Structure 1
């Protein structure tokens, strides 16, 4: 790849860490739906979870960014349409998704050219790995806030991968009684090791009133289960995506007066996530399994766990390792 240059309104970033997401894996294997709709095409450089340091600023960009540690939004809108002007750039009709859709090469590289308008400053003391977890954390925080819970109420999170665990961490920080539902004993053991004693399989899940259910899984049968389990008049939040269509009976939603909320992207949750990580109320480091170099990325994208990896679901990349 040619060395990136900072065009008008852009910066160049030395990438310190990048996370590997399930979306990156689907882009690599060809399973990603965008490849079949034309929204994404090869060649494509993935990577949308990242942290780094600004090393150059292009024309029209504030030079004060140079030297700052940053992360940034995955969702890059046009900036001029009614959706963008109303603060909904993440659903812009001309949306570009960093490292996912055609337009902006992603962060699985030593350096990244990126629009300065979408940067988020990180504290100079924040660990690079933690900085790379801001993007998934933003999705998790948005999911929790969409659940509309108060301290002491009961939340059930479906899924014990990165997003599910982060949702649970944000919920715990707000005094919410948090339970997780998984199906692999290894992932349940990880959840328990992170302090979530209420980690269950479907067979062991206790009865009770679930004031909200967040589906952070990729299982096509769980969206319907979420509606079945949630208390009438409360909320179900969908942040996970199954590889095949899922079916939810809208009669169940209507007759239980349930509010169903979909979450696309971390945009509105990025700043809150940085604050929570910085003040220590949420510590995401337990989800990190290993940090590899770019020369190992092919095996990771193909689904192989690095030798010596811990129990966490997240693999990070150090481009200079």
Structure 2
């Protein structure tokens, strides 16, 4: 089968590789769509911290946002999975440690990340071997493209939940990438007064088209009480800004990661009695976001700018926008092309 392989910093190629065989507890998925994510960009450029800590190494097959159809079941897997449309959790854990048994498998000490860390080849390929215990079935109303947006949606879902707001309260989302916009959509579906802060005024028209009238830049941001702030950016200065902006006694949620250490003055957190929450992964948000997509309360389809083939992914990762791409931030991949 064909698969995209990172062979070194800035180097990617489509290779013919052996098709996967389902081990005990695994299924084989025919991949219909996979998303290109900021993490994939960092793995491609060599900036991803895992490459420096030894958790990831080249050659590496990326792809952790995906959907597809189960085409085969390994020993010990319910054969009822065959033929079902699915997506899956990125965080694959041991299943028996104290953290896993306590519902925190996404921080298991032995946790592996599909398409990110060594040992679990990702979904930027025609087929994927995947543990059945981490599958999530997709209803008919969630098509392949929406299925590939479940993983980023799960991250956004967890971010909104962590903000702990009631309907009518004001949420400020820093960042207008895929996670930021999904956070805004999910917040709106929960009845929150959502505002977005972006880097460039050019995004204002797109966000207005998505139904968000309150789009600001740093210079235009109004002096309002922000009941919660979600930082979905990669700016090293933004975590500190989130603490500065949030109302005393409320919450800041960190889902974005900068390439360099961020500076937050903990005196500001203490003296404002702010709760700071970090979000790692989509795990506990996946089921709810599938329901939201299925019922139509959240529709992320406008975020998809283009769908490309495997041969086009290296160019996308290098910053080249596909010809005819729409204004959205997300590029999807059809590995069958």
Same fold (TM > 0.5): yes
Distance 2:213 2:312 in 1: 34
When structure 1 is superposed on structure 2, of 109-118 and 119-128 the one drifting more is 119-128
Partner residue, 1:64: 80
Q: Give 2:259's match in structure 1, choosing from 238, 243, 251.
A: 243
3-state SS, counterpart of residue 70 of structure 1? strand
Q: Give the superposed CA RMSD.
A: 0.7
- Deviating above 6 A after TM superposition, structure 1's stretches of 4 or more consecutive aligned residues are none
Q: Give 1:211's match in structure 2, choosing from 227, 244, 266.
A: 227
Deviations 1:53-89 (A, max 9, x none): 0000000011000000000000000111111111111
1:172-321 paired onto structure 2 within 5 Å: 172-321=188-337
CA contact (8 A) 1:213 1:226 kept: yes
Q: Give 2:153's match in structure 1, choosing from 137, 145, 157.
A: 137
Deviation at 1:126, TM superposition (A): 1.7
Deviation at 1:127, TM superposition (A): 1.5
Q: How many residues align?
A: 321
Question: Structure 1: which 5+ runs fail to align?
Answer: none
Deviation at 1:187, TM superposition (A): 2.4
Distance 2:307 2:202 in 1: 20
The answer on 1:80 being equivalent to 2:80 is: no
When structure 1 is superposed on structure 2, of 127-136 and 183-192 the one drifting more is 183-192
Distance 1:51 1:78 in 2: 23
Deviation at 1:185, TM superposition (A): 2.3
CA contact (8 A) 2:201 2:216 kept: no
When structure 1 is superposed on structure 2, of 78-87 and 104-113 the one drifting more is 78-87
Partner residue, 2:118: 102
CA contact (8 A) 1:68 1:124 kept: no
Deviations 1:119-162 (A, max 9, x none): 00001232110110000000000000000000000000000000
1:14-29 paired onto structure 2 within 5 Å: 14-29=30-45
When structure 1 is superposed on structure 2, of 47-56 and 297-306 the one drifting more is 297-306
The answer on 1:127 being equivalent to 2:143 is: yes
TM-score, with normalisation over the residues of structure 2?
Answer: 0.94
TM-score, with normalisation over the residues of structure 1?
Answer: 0.99
Distance 1:256 1:189 in 2: 35
